[in-house]
Structure 1
Amino acid sequence: MAGEGSLLRVGSRKSELALIQTKYVISLLQKIRPEIQFELVTMATTGDKVLDVALSKIGEKSLFTKELEIALEKKEVDFVVHSLKDLPTILPEGMVIGSVLEREDPRDAVVMKQGSAFSCLADLPPGAVIGTSSLRRSAQLKLNFPQLKFQDIRGNLNTRLRKLDDKDGVYAAIILAVAGISRMGWIDRISEYLEPSSCMHAVGQGALGVECREGDVETLNLLSSLHHRETVLRTVAERSFLRVLEGGCSVPVAVTSRVTEAGISLDGGVWSIDGTKSVSGTNSVVFKNSTDALKQRSYVGISANQIEAEILSGAELCGRELAELLISKGAEPILKEAKAQSVMAEPVK
């Protein structure tokens, strides 16, 4: 209950980046409701614990969210802060996204080994090893840079940077999300920003999503004040696209989105793991009375039906139609093959 002198418990992963993100959300809420006390509750998720297996092979969709959602269900925490790209498109029963904050740069970036003479992937010599834990990144980049070798790299951002800079390490560069690099204060380490033409970003990348219980109206009202209109629309379209395709860490699916004067536009694609096969497309949806709605309405409460329904449904339609278009162009066999190739012989317990 978010009343005078009340306490709200906030769930977060233990990684430095997760803590930075969660503390940022808390700081914004404290400015809105200074009388509320916020208690940080940290925990390790499956994705944090299993570091010797590629993310795509762990066989679990909620790699970085499950433990947090269990705590939310048990009312051990009142809300949890996620990188939206980690949050599955279908939430557990009784859970909702209470807020989607303004998105940072959703692109990926190249970080070269410290002291490297190279500044971009195109300049690296054939056989240079690029570290990434994402099938989405490696599949697209294999297609565009077939002369390079892509190898899995696990661990939090600090660990990955340390592995990269190890003078005896194998990596010439690693690929990370610009948003994470920025939040960690490492912008000066970026050698190259990857544009959508070479590597489209993950669904929800760059945005923070705050999850809470559906029936907790007071917390929902508080969180809704952090909604960012354009980010909500873009991520609703992106997540709708992914939901229809049933993708995740085990499938290379990528997007790029734009809110226009008239509505919303979405580009998306599906790749085989080796990058040799792909299907991509574009879809746009025009909102009725879009000018008035986009300029004058403010969005509050994504799950409490407080967002203007026609616009929100239009964004969801945009993603769904694009997914259906890709399926009609042959996406399903590529998805099926990718899922089969990424499954472990024995699931991690």
Structure 2
Amino acid sequence: MKKLTIATRGSKLALWQSRHIKSVIESHFTDVEVELKIIITSGDKILDAPLAKIGGKGLFLKEIEESMLRGEAQMAVHSLKDVPTVMPEGLVLSAITKREDVRDAMLSENYPDIRSLPQGAVVGTSSLRRRMQLVKQRPDLVIKDLRGNVDTRIRKLKEGEFDAIILAAAGINRLELNGAVKYFYPISLNEMLPAMGQGALGIETTQEEWVLEIARYLEDADSRIETTIERGFVDTLQGGCQVPIGVSARVQENGEVIVRSILGMPDASEEMGDMIVVSKEQISGVGETMAKTLIAKGAMELLQRAETMANEA
């Protein structure tokens, strides 16, 4: 019997994701035993500074990837929105799972949606992307940084530090925390575009053939299409969580793919974006092409100013 080791962070959500993949693998590959190896990452240790200032979401992967490269694990299960677009040599993004809800969600004890928040309400998020799109709708809101795992963020909401907090709907759904607060409001894509890859799990592996065979079973074709477009868009813009970028590619039942994007300043003082509709046969390079169209309109300069503003905040 082969033993597959999955390296994982120790948060509830990371463990849920890894245990879910463990269960799927063991139910299909009866000759494979799966164990989890919990690793504390730099991102887990540094909780008193915004991600944009300390190196971005790649801080949640560094020690996990080092463990895999040392041969201590063969697989890692990530929230794909946290995975940089460039993989370390020796590792590969070998599968992308079927997506959960791609939307962001507002959680509150007193207010059912963004429109109902009172003037000057305090909203918690660690994301420049969410900040930009919130301020665009409601410039009167007070946006404060919010770090920590899902339980910590909800506790801070319940203790009254925030009137509302914004999290990825997928994580709330996976942990079945929809009822943990009075109001759980999935934010429509017309109100807020998500991060690249949001809602999907990215399966990062070593390049051993037996490991790649397992990973292929976890792959979802539509998720690969959507997230490849989204990641291509962000990669071409050379953007990460240090700058506000939202992008959504959605495969429709008729075979069309709707791609939408937004980027701008954290205070929403400037923004630009695009929307295109293509068929599945036309998707090659779509994300990159959309990014280049915006670059021609000054996107890189805008994002440089956005990064400067974020670092000065």
TM-score w.r.t. length of structure 2: 0.95
Q: Which moved more, 1:325-334 or 1:80-89?
A: 325-334
1:333 is the counterpart of 2:301: yes
1:96 is the counterpart of 2:92: yes
- Gapped runs of 5+ residues in structure 1? 289-313
1:230 is aligned with what amino acid? Answer: D
Q: Match of 2:245? A: 253
1:252 is aligned with what amino acid? Answer: P
- Gapped runs of 5+ residues in structure 2? none
Q: Match of 1:36? A: 32
% identical equivalent positions: 37
CA shift at 1:341, angstroms?
2.6
Q: Distance in 2 between matches of 1:122 and 1:284?
A: 29
CA shift at 1:316, angstroms?
4.5
Moved over 6 A (4+): none
Q: Distance in 2 between matches of 1:226 and 1:110?
A: 30
User: Could you list the per-position Cα deviations for residues 47-88 of structure 1 after superposition, in whole angstroms to 9, with x for gaps in the alignment?
Assistant: 111000011111345121111111111111011010000000
1:223 is the counterpart of 2:215: yes
Q: Match of 1:320? A: 288
8 Å contact 1:8–1:39 — kept in the other structure?
yes
Q: Distance in 2 between matches of 1:30 and 1:10?
A: 13
2:297 is aligned with what amino acid? Answer: K
1:236 is aligned with what amino acid? Answer: T
| SS at structure 2 position matched to 1:187 | coil
CA shift at 1:94, angstroms?
1.7
Matches within 5 A, 1:191-206: 191-206=184-199
User: Could you list the per-position Cα deviations for residues 9-65 of structure 1 after superposition, in whole angstroms to 9, with x for gaps in the alignment?
Assistant: 111001010000000011001111122111100111111110000111113451211
Q: Which moved more, 1:262-271 or 1:99-108?
A: 262-271
- Taking a change above 3 Å as real, the CA distance of residues 287 and 163 of structure 1, as seen in their structure-2 partners, is closer
2:52 to 53, 56, 62: 56
Matches within 5 A, 1:1-349: 5-60=1-56, 62-113=58-109, 116=110, 118-166=111-159, 169-188=160-179, 189=181, 190-213=183-206, 215-260=207-252, 261-288=254-281, 314-343=282-311
Count matched residues: 310
Q: Distance in 1 between matches of 2:56 and 2:221?
A: 31
Q: Which moved more, 1:149-158 or 1:52-61?
A: 52-61
8 Å contact 2:14–2:78 — kept in the other structure?
yes
TM-score w.r.t. length of structure 1: 0.85
8 Å contact 2:103–2:186 — kept in the other structure?
yes
Q: Match of 1:306? A: none
| SS at structure 1 position matched to 2:239 | coil
CA shift at 1:315, angstroms?
3.4
User: Could you list the per-position Cα deviations for residues 188-216 of structure 1 after superposition, in whole angstroms to 9, with x for gaps in the alignment?
Assistant: 34432211221100100000011012x31
| SS at structure 1 position matched to 2:225 | helix
8 Å contact 2:265–2:271 — kept in the other structure?
yes
User: Could you list the per-position Cα deviations for residues 92-132 of structure 1 after superposition, in whole angstroms to 9, with x for gaps in the alignment?
Assistant: 1121111111000000111003xx2x211211211110001
Cα RMSD after superposing both structures: 1.5
User: Could you list the per-position Cα deviations for residues 285-305 of structure 1 after superposition, in whole angstroms to 9, with x for gaps in the alignment?
Assistant: 3344xxxxxxxxxxxxxxxxx
8 Å contact 2:56–2:240 — kept in the other structure?
no
